[in-house]
Structure 1
Amino acid sequence: MSLESVSKTDHHHLQHKNIHYGKPYFAVLLAAFSSLGGWFFGYDQGVTGGIVIMNSFKNDFCVGVYANTSGCDLSIAALPPDYRQFLVLFTLMYNLGCFIGALFISSFVAEKFGRRAIIFTSAVLFIIGTSMVILPPGGSKTIMIFILIGRIVEGTGVGCASFSCPLYASEIAPTKLRGMLSGFMTMGIVTGLFAANVVNFFFQNHKWGWRLSNGIILIAPAIIMVGIFFCPETPRWLFKKKGRASAEKSLKRIRKIYDVTAELNAIADAVREEGNELSIKELFTTKKMLERLGIGMGIHVFLQTSGISPIFAFGGIIFESVLGSGIISLLILSGANMLSTIPALFLFDRIGRRNLLIFCGLGMVVGHLVAATVFFTGCNVVKTVMNDIIVNEEVNCGTNAGVLMLIFTVIYIICFALSWGAICWIYAAEIYPLNSTVILLTLAMHQTRTFRFGHI
């Protein structure tokens, strides 16, 4: 089963060719609103890479806790070991929370209480977690443990958002717009990531810089918590849980037309043909389901092993060593990511998902290989060792080598944004049959979170 053959199978509207979807503007607005979940997902990913090199962050968690000011300004390899461990845990606990949210909470809430409920839950968890991170004072190891717990809660909210937003968008979208509207999640992620680096740039020298950068992110989940009560539930979930009448009412509101009989019949036929919800055993013993599960999980495995997460999680530290300007480098990379995602939302329906994944994937390989080759041939790493312990490490690249590394990393980012970055979120939401979308999408999101641990 190929990518294109799966994606072109409209399992929701089989043999219903003359469905009138009414006015699409409200569906577009709803998808854009739900993509705010992607915005705080991307913002948090982007903000972390910058704040860990801010003086305000070091003053709270390194200076006076593990070393003096000069000891906390060393290169990453020469920083106090316990502080390096805290930096790793700061990212690791967040990813652990993402794993918990995507695998254990999302599918339960989405199926039992609805798609709106899991979007609301993601916002609540994120606000609680972020507040636990930014409000306590620094300078204490006990408080740092509390902050790491907050990172778990924060990540749980993001894990729920990464599941719920593409699911909601795909279920309210007209067939011809499903790919683009599901892709709003990607646009939300890259916009949030870019916004985070802009905020980091302006607050990098502020005494509360890392807290202010993190705090601004709370605007998006606060809007979601209020706005979700004004959004209709998806007709597909309502049809399964509350019957045809509730689904019809929601569908009329979304499509802005009175006669939705044809589309409602399509939903009814899809539910009837696909039967009751598949069990876990049936998912893993049915050849057709295994093929779809393999593709959905595989595409998220390749997404995470492509190297995108380390670039934005640790790019600030890397380019601070290579170019001496980590925050500006992250700003350039996130800007390229955002600007390249815009055409991607239109290209994958015209060029095809498979073609973009293949050819842009080759471009990603070129970008990575050239950047790595430039570092290997044009940079020197000088380590100062005392009693078998690295006390300092300097990376001397020269301006030309550093700029070339940044340029080819930008090329990698552009190719990624045009293909894997956009397609994976859309694809996992659109290839599964209605009676198994939630559990299969959960397993696909699980792969994303699992493989992010390999980067930490």
Structure 2
Amino acid sequence: MTASSIEDSRLALSKSDSVQSTSSGEVDYTKPANKAALKHISQSSLEVDESVVRAEGEERTTAFVWWLVIAAATGGLLFGYDTGVIGGALVHKDINQDLHRYPLSSGNKELLTSATTLGALLAGFSSGILADHIGRKLVIGLADIIFVVGAIMQAVAYGPNSYWIMAVGRLIIGFGVGFASLVVPLYIGELAPTSLRGRLVTLNVVAITFGQVVAYCINLAFQNVHQGWRYMVGLGAVPPFLQLCMLGYLPESPRYLLRHDNLEATLNIMRKIYPFAAEEQIQLKVEVISKSVKMNMSHHGSFIQTWKRLHLNGPNFRALVVACGLQGIQQFCGWNTLLYYAPTLFKSVGFSNSLVIGLVISIVNFVFTLFALYIIDRVGRRRIACITIPGMSAALILAAIGFHFLTLHTGGKLPDDGVGVDEKWAPVILTAVLVYAAFYATGIGNLPWNQAELFEMNVRGLGTALSTSSNWGSNLVIGSTFLSLIDRITAAGAFGFYAGLCFLGAVFVYFLYPEVAGLSLEETREVFQHGFGIKKAERMRAQKQRALAEYREEVNH
């Protein structure tokens, strides 16, 4: 809510004889005395969502809600599993012979890795539109079918064209990743109880990093099995098959149903999500959601109109620059290439079991992702970015120094089997990479996905689509060039190059990334009105916190 909406609701509350509040000072809209204020807000032209209605017991996570979130978050696990499993498959002892590529060149590996990213980039353009037309459930189901087909296709890649069969299978899986990465968080957010939404949506991020841990465990289990790489990629079909079975028991999103005027089905779903709420509270929640959906639909123009509004309007374009910049930093810092190629890289460094190293890196990523979810609202997005991105740059510089001395006796080249390297520098490189992983997971690994808060309603769909596409596009560039870059400028040069990109990212964040957490869409637009508004955002957030504090004090008295 904006400062003006706070004032408007305060005026409405003043008309009530006795306004009831919770112990925290928040207005409790479950109380009959507060209905006037609620009606004033929900029937006005203010920007609102169902968070203005506090339903009885909405802070309690029921078995039904956990079922929804776990079933939906399987899409995140699939994404994480696929990014982790390819690293183990590429270093399996039988894959060269099975794919009739002996040895697999850097270009061969880059093609197999980046094919998935290309598929995700292509699918990302259409996933949001598709979700609005056929529903969130059907898009998730479509992603599951694509995952199953792609995983099986990779596992059964036989014959003289087996390499290209696997490459096509990787491309197909990419379409599933593109659909799931956009629709699953959207679906969870629209079904989660209001007071739990932030925490439940972030479970999808946790599921991605957990999927990477699972992938490396599978890699280790099949590393010495004959044609074990087929089991590694083929087992990727199991989770989407299970999710597809569960999908029949999942409801459709209330917002999608209201877009198609299906009020009765919406009410039935909301009764399951809020089982402790009174019928009147549920009705009010649906009423406010319906208003929000209608406002969103009324803001839709043609694609050309929206494109112009996004690129030719100063505040909108500056928001797009920030969103695309953060997504680009996330990929150009080199993290995903490290995840894809960690076993290949650490095998060359001289570690006897590089898959164990990959597992350790994925565990560090998972643990610090949990840490990030704990501190993000307490510390603030901008402050976290300003600390962690320079930390990543420093860690990459240390890794570059380690690679330089590691390969002094090999002319700067990394041998495939690690023969000839100065192994006493291997622990230095591993330490640098683990520190880098910790900084990444705490900061830029999560921050860009808060991109929706930067855009106003009428350009949010296109803005988030373009910024997400910049993520996949950057990922494609990095994933398809990493090994070749090491071959051309040495590992020390490549890691030094990424350290420089991280430094540029830190400069970008310091000068262009305002802290907009807690600000409404109108307030965020005001931040970007005459520039990138770093100091202006700080002043506005401080003013809003004071206004809310005064508001709650009035309510309590």
Partner of 2:285: 263
Identity of aligned residues (%): 24
Taking structure 1 as reference, are residues 144 and 133 closer, same or farther at Cα in structure 2, changes over 3 Å only?
A: same
Q: Supply the AA of the counterpart residue of 1:24.
A: T
Greater relative CO (CA pairs within 8 A, separation 6+) = 1
- Tell me, yes or no, if the aligned pair for 1:341 and 1:418 is still in contact at 8 Å: yes
Alpha-carbon deviation of 1:289?
4.0
- Tell me, yes or no, if the aligned pair for 1:384 and 1:392 is still in contact at 8 Å: no
Mapped to 2, the partners of 1:27 and 1:58 lie a distance apart of 46
1:18-417 aligned at under 5 Å gives the runs: 18=54, 20=56, 22=58, 23-25=60-62, 26-61=64-99, 65-67=100-102, 72=103, 83-104=105-126, 106-138=127-159, 140=160, 142-256=161-275, 257=277, 258=279, 259-274=281-296, 275-280=298-303, 281-286=305-310, 287=313, 288-324=315-351, 325-380=353-408, 382=410, 396-417=420-441
Mapped to 2, the partners of 1:277 and 1:19 lie a distance apart of 31
Mapped to 2, the partners of 1:31 and 1:437 lie a distance apart of 24
Partner of 2:442: 418
Aligned with 1:16 (options 52, 55, 61): 52
Mapped to 2, the partners of 1:383 and 1:312 lie a distance apart of 26
Alpha-carbon deviation of 1:20?
5.0
Aligned residue pairs total 423
- Tell me, yes or no, if the aligned pair for 1:186 and 1:421 is still in contact at 8 Å: no
Q: TM-score, normalised by structure 1?
A: 0.85
SS in structure 2 of the partner of residue 55 of structure 1: coil
Alpha-carbon deviation of 1:400?
2.8
Mapped to 1, the partners of 2:158 and 2:252 lie a distance apart of 41
- Tell me, yes or no, if the aligned pair for 1:232 and 1:254 is still in contact at 8 Å: no
Mapped to 2, the partners of 1:407 and 1:247 lie a distance apart of 52
Q: TM-score, normalised by structure 2?
A: 0.70
Alpha-carbon deviation of 1:362?
2.4
Whichever of the two has the greater Rg, that structure is 2
Alpha-carbon deviation of 1:337?
0.8
Taking structure 1 as reference, are residues 384 and 321 closer, same or farther at Cα in structure 2, changes over 3 Å only?
A: closer
Q: Which string of whole-angstrom CA distances, capped at 9 and with x for unpartnered residues, describes residues 310-334 of structure 1?
A: 1011111111111333212111101
Mapped to 1, the partners of 2:264 and 2:318 lie a distance apart of 35
Q: Which string of whole-angstrom CA distances, capped at 9 and with x for unpartnered residues, describes residues 169-220 of structure 1?
A: 2222334333222211211111110111111112111102101111222221
Alpha-carbon deviation of 1:392?
8.3
Alpha-carbon deviation of 1:272?
4.2
Q: Which runs of 5+ in 2 are unaligned?
A: 1-45, 481-557
- Tell me, yes or no, if the aligned pair for 2:299 and 2:457 is still in contact at 8 Å: no
Mapped to 1, the partners of 2:376 and 2:418 lie a distance apart of 43
Taking structure 1 as reference, are residues 379 and 172 closer, same or farther at Cα in structure 2, changes over 3 Å only?
A: same
Alpha-carbon deviation of 1:14?
7.9
Alpha-carbon deviation of 1:86?
2.4
- Tell me, yes or no, if the aligned pair for 1:278 and 1:436 is still in contact at 8 Å: no
Mapped to 2, the partners of 1:294 and 1:270 lie a distance apart of 27
Q: Which runs of 5+ in 1 are unaligned?
A: 1-9, 73-78
Taking structure 1 as reference, are residues 247 and 433 closer, same or farther at Cα in structure 2, changes over 3 Å only?
A: farther
Mapped to 1, the partners of 2:244 and 2:456 lie a distance apart of 29
Alpha-carbon deviation of 1:97?
1.1
Alpha-carbon deviation of 1:47?
0.8
